[in-house]
Amino acid sequence: MPVTMVLELVNEALKIALLISAPMLLTALVVGITISLFQSVTQIQEMTLTFIPKILATFFALSLTLPWMIETILDYFTKLFETIPRMVY
């Protein structure tokens, strides 16, 4: 198997991993920053206040984007399995 093919597969896998994790991570980031701003404005310093909204928002983002995530992963694996005959000489 040529080195360029391996690099392409790894590059595509990393792109898909970042793409799939982005909705949940960005949601948690936005909710975390919003709650942190709220805490600093109101001077409430409760550490557990951030966890439940982040968990709920991340779960909501996951439930919204799960079909797209599954479709993206299936497309990648379909392409991967189609290229297996070209990988083996």
Total domains present in the chain: 1
Residue 61: give the domain boundaries: 3-87
CB count in 10 Å sphere of residue 85: 8
Give residue 89's pLDDT: 65
Give residue 30's pLDDT: 95
pLDDT digits (tens, 9 = 90+) for 68-87: 999 999 999 999 898 888 87
HSE-CB at 28 with a 13 A cutoff on CA atoms is 12
pLDDT digits (tens, 9 = 90+) for 46-55: 777 888 889 9
Instruction: Compute the distance between CA of residue 45 and CA of residue 79 in angstroms, rounded to an integer.
Output: 49
Burial 48-59 (b: 16+ CB within 10 A, else e): eebeeebeebbe
